[in-house]
Structure 1
Amino acid sequence: MGRKKLEMKRIEDKSSRLVTFSKRRVGLIKKARHLSDLCDVDVAVIVFSARGKLYESCTGSTNRPVEDKNNNNELSLIEITQLEEYLDAALLQTRSRRTELMVEYISTLQEQEKKLGEDKEQLEKLITASEDKQR
């Protein structure tokens, strides 16, 4: 039996919202661990709850920018700044790679467009030659 399609909107019932957050957070971290294991990559997941509580998970040799020393998940201004710098660097790297992949994809599409144009010209010549023979 399949699942029903879930409408993506805020869950109004607070209890249901908290249960969903908890289950999805655990599932997200589990998926990140699987991605790390399967693809041999470092993965970091950072989740802030609605109340500002920090949940984090790292795999591999990823350097953790914030170490929770007092175990109460309250971050100092310096730690937040370090985290922000770390995230900015990761975002910059991700955007750079995305741009690189997009340029490669555009190049591939342009090659396909050129090939299709050549194929179209050949087909038009064949059609013209066929029409000329029928006359």
Structure 2
Amino acid sequence: MVRGKTQMKRIENASSRQVTFSKRRSGLLKKAFELSVLCDAEVALIIFSPSGRLYEFSSSSQMSHTIERYQKNARTLANQRITEEVYTQKLKDEAADSYKKLELLEDAKRTLLGENIVSCSIAELVQVEEQLEKSLCKIRARKHTLFQEQIHHLKEQEAKLMKVNTDLKEKCEMVASMIPLSQPLSPDMEVETGLFIGPPKTKANHV
């Protein structure tokens, strides 16, 4: 016969309720003992019957030791939860503050770009104008600095190229001075050549 699933509700019959309590209490105490032995765990079990009678099991020598250990760990866990909740709330507050600052920066950006000036007062517009003037002065100063650095760099390159040019010129003059010049010819000197003007000479026939 298949045993039906027990419904999880209070047993109305007092006799059946007492029998079920005795059976399940014994099984629960047995399981607690097995858990402590097999897994080397510290187990404490406290049961009060409907009539108020106490049943307990403790794997340690004293039940109070396990209870104190439980209370200590419970306080530690409670403090950890409180710390985590405080830290989480702090992160939420920081995120909300950062979001507000971001919105203010976006509004200021749109105002500087001239996209959000319809609702601005004269004083706010004057303040925006002053900010733009300050920004423009900084931009011009930075541009002037970059131009000066670029000019200085070009002058350094010019000086290097001029030095290289001077060195090459000196080397060319040195090489030219080392080459000997050929002696010029005198106008009175005759130069023998193989050139003959007139009919060619013939060899005489000997008789």
Instruction: Give TM-score, length-normalised by structure 1.
Output: 0.49
Of structures 1 and 2, the one with the larger relative CO (CA 8 A, separation 6+) is 1
Bigger Rg, structure 1 or 2: 2
Instruction: Give TM-score, length-normalised by structure 2.
Output: 0.33
